[in-house]
Amino acid sequence: MAIDFTLTAQQRDLQLAARKFAREVLTSAGAAESLATPEERFLATRPIYEAMVGAGYLRKCIPAPAGGENTGLVDMAILAEEFYSVNPSVTLTMLGTVLGLLPILFGGTPEQCGRLLPPFLKKHGTPLAAFCFSEPGGSANADSPPPGDGVRTTAQHIGDDWVINGRKKWTSSATGWNRKGADILSVVCRTDPNATPDKAISVIAVEGPSSGIVFERAINTIGHRAHLVPQFSLQNVVAPHSNLLGHEGGGLALTATAFTATAALVGIFGVALMRAAFDFALRFARTEKRGGVHPIIQHQAVGYALADAKTAIEAARYLSWRACHALDIQSPAAEELAVQAKIYGSETAVRVITDLVRVVGIESYDHDAPLGRLLQDALALPIFDGGNMGIRRRQLHTIFMRPDYDHLAASGAAA
């Protein structure tokens, strides 16, 4: 067996093209973060998102069998690192759209894919999709049986339609560019009030715009300042019965599959932020004397801090790549590795960027320096896409309790 993290020629081309596009196009999206309101900031990124779609990058995130150009999660990780290191907000708008499409890609029939995906395969426009899972009051216990609430959004089967009522929160781009809803909302809802949680929850695709989508507020987030995460309600929103994704009652399994696929990418988000912070801190240390004789990189404490940061970046990247590869080849260890990549990459990013703030010192407290913004963006990583404390560690705990669990499987050395 050979272990080789060398990129293929095609992956290297993707990396360099994405890096060039990020520097030339995504950099300008940063100006949006200085606007007054969350919606103003989000709307200001629309031309940048349109340029991403026009350059074919959304297509590169959709699997080839579904009509896109993506060949696996490793390629997604390469692309995500280049984009997210330059502008996390608009990158999250694109990847949040991919997350919104995952229930269709994983659970949709050929007819559903052929009907719902075409707008996202074109190289023009600004199509948005959203995975409507989280709800006000929290969703870490989405499968909680009575007297717990679990998923509170409901869908009634009336005639040939589903009629959906409930509230959602923290869903990327869900209310769209005009508060009427993204082009596709994959809505997690309760379709059988009397069934056990593993049979009560389903995912239904809602095609926007819809007058039943009622905007409540745009959350004024700490980081990702130009990315929209709204709170909204669904009031008698109608979707055809044929828009049920997967089978009725299979929503929790479909949700788990989608979020496992994205977990390793959150690890890469952490890598991207650490990489941007390290680049700034290294240049600062090489040039700044801070009133002394020599650049501060010659001080042992600074050198050691930079060494620890760079080591953490490389470890997080390769764990995430390993997880992506395991998912691509459908390894039995894929779920474990993906969750570990999410936990390690996200929490390491917060720690490493904080350490680099100490290296730079008071200058990092100036908005003209990027470290404050990078730390604000990093703070979201341990708590979104399945919070590390409420969900991700529980997933690992559950894996460890399985009677057939082999702790050597993730290393490829199963007994």
Q: Catalytic amino acids?
A: 385
**Run of H or E including 322:** helix 300-328
Tokens of 250: 């299979």
For residues 155 and 190, give the distance between their C-alpha atoms in angstroms, rounded to a whole number: 6
Q: How far is CA 390 from the centre of its chain?
A: 17
Are 32 and 49 contacting, i.e. CB atoms less than 8 angstroms apart?
Answer: no
Nearest to 191 by CA among 260, 239, 135: 239
3-state SS class at 24:
helix
Helix-helix angle 88-107:73-84, to 10 degrees: 160
Strands 244-245 and 201-207, by their bridges, are antiparallel
For residues 45 and 86, give the distance between their C-alpha atoms in angstroms, rounded to a whole number: 14
For residues 325 and 338, give the distance between their C-alpha atoms in angstroms, rounded to a whole number: 10
What's the Cα-to-Cα distance from 367 to each of 22, 33, 278, 376, rounded to whole Å?
21, 11, 17, 12
Are 18 and 203 contacting, i.e. CB atoms less than 8 angstroms apart?
Answer: no
Strands 244-245 and 161-169, by their bridges, are unpaired
| Rg of the chain taking only CA atoms, in angstroms | 22
Nearest to 209 by CA among 175, 169, 232, 234: 175
- The residue with tokens 């680049």 is 279
3-state SS class at 63:
strand
Q: How many helices (H) and strands (E) does the chain have?
A: 13, 8
Tokens of 235: 């009031």
Are 349 and 273 contacting, i.e. CB atoms less than 8 angstroms apart?
Answer: yes
Nearest to 105 by CA among 144, 53, 64, 74: 64
For residues 229 and 242, give the distance between their C-alpha atoms in angstroms, rounded to a whole number: 28
Across-strand partners of 233? Answer: 167, 214
Are 210 and 174 contacting, i.e. CB atoms less than 8 angstroms apart?
Answer: no
